[in-house]
Structure 1
Amino acid sequence: MQLLLLFQLLTLVVVANAVPVFAKRCFGPATAWPLDGGLVLSDGQPLLGASKTIRGILLSMVLTPVVAMLIGLSWQVGVVVAFSAMAGDLVSSFLKRRMGLRASDQAIGLDQIPESLLPLLAARWLLPVTTVDILVGTALFIVGSLVVSRLLFRLNMRDKPY
């Protein structure tokens, strides 16, 4: 296991996923255009939901590569991590809507695994990431996100404590 590389990648995964949350708090409803354009599918649920915004995706795609360069990785790694983390988050939102869950409803595992596993897998294209790194990184992200989410709720950065 490569501890430094794993720490760097987890930092990027956290940044990619946290940027949209902080953007919501910083900008409020301004420029919070839903990525799905408000599309409702035949099941009566939105495609993704209003919490998945163009602003969040774009800011994650811009800021994660900047952080990658600041911590000693290439901007390309930052782009791959941001893109795949956002793709994982969109997949989980799509699945949660199909399950009838609202935006920000808790679904342990579904909320964390796609947005951490996909970027760690994708990082293998550019870095020597091992299977152990991916498994440990995903597990650390799951535990860490549950703990940090409660802290962010107490700091008024999240609407719910999970």
Structure 2
Amino acid sequence: MSTFPILYAIVLLTLANGAPVAAKKLLGARFAFALDGGLLFFDGRPVFGASKTVRGIVASIVVTAFGGALLGLSYEVGAAVAIVAMAGDLFSSFLKRRMKMPPSSQAVGLDQVPESLFPLLACQESLGLSDADIFVVVLMFFVGELAISRVLYMLRIRDQPY
């Protein structure tokens, strides 16, 4: 296991998944256009739900691209981590809507694993991660996200404690 690739991966995942939360706190309802445009899927449920916004996706990509550059990686690597993390998050939301779960509801594991595992697999070579590194980072992200979400809720940065 390599310390710097693991640290960089954790930082990038934190930026990618934290930027939408920070953007919501800073901007309120401004620019909060639902990514799915309010469209319903064939089952009559929202595709993703109103909490998945264009603002969140853009914030994630911009912040993580700059974060990647600050770490000495390319903007492209940072942006790629964000894009695939957001794809993982949308995948989770899509599945949760199919499981009849309301937007912003908690599904432990489903809320953490795709948004961390997918970008790590997609950027494994660029980040210099081994398979063991990926396992460790996903585990760290899983535990860390559950803990940090509660702290952010207590600080009134998140609307939900998860």
Q: Aligned pair count? A: 162
Partner of 1:156: 156
The letter of the residue matching 1:146 is L
**Percent identity over paired residues:** 51
The offset of 1:70, in angstroms, is 1.0
Distance (Å, rounded) in 2 between the aligned partners of 1:8 and 1:127:
8
Aligned match of 1:41: 41
Deviations 1:48-94 (A, max 9, x none): 00010011101111110101111222212101101110000000000
3-state secondary structure, aligned to 1:126:
helix
State the alpha-carbon separation in 2 of the partners of residues 41 and 8 from structure 1.
Answer: 37
**Residue aligning to 1:111:** 111
| Partner SS, residue 157 of structure 1 | coil
What residue in structure 2 maps to residue 20 of structure 1? 20
What root-mean-square deviation, in Å, do the aligned CA atoms of Structure 1 and Structure 2 show? 1.0
* 8 A contact 2:9–2:127 mirrored in 1: no
Quote the offset at 1:123 in angstroms.
1.2
Q: Which residue of 2 aligns with 1:53?
A: 53
Q: Pick which of 67-76 and 79-88 moved more.
A: 67-76
- 1:20 Cα deviation after fit: 0.6
Normalised to the residue count of structure 1, the TM-score between the two structures is 0.97
Alignment of 1:77-96 (within 5 A): 77-96=77-96
Say which is worse superposed, 31-40 or 125-134, in terms of deviation: 125-134
Q: Distance in 1 between matches of 2:44 and 2:29?
A: 24
Structure 1: state its 5+ residue gaps.
Answer: none
Amino acid of the residue matched to residue 78 of structure 1?
G
Structure 2 gaps of 5+ residues are: none
Cα shift readout 1:14-61 (whole Å, capped 9, x = no counterpart): 100011111111111111000000011232310000010011101111
2: CA distance, partners of 1:159 / 1:129: 33
The normalised TM-score by structure 2 is 0.97
* In the alignment, structure 1 residue 140 sits paired with structure 2 residue 144: no
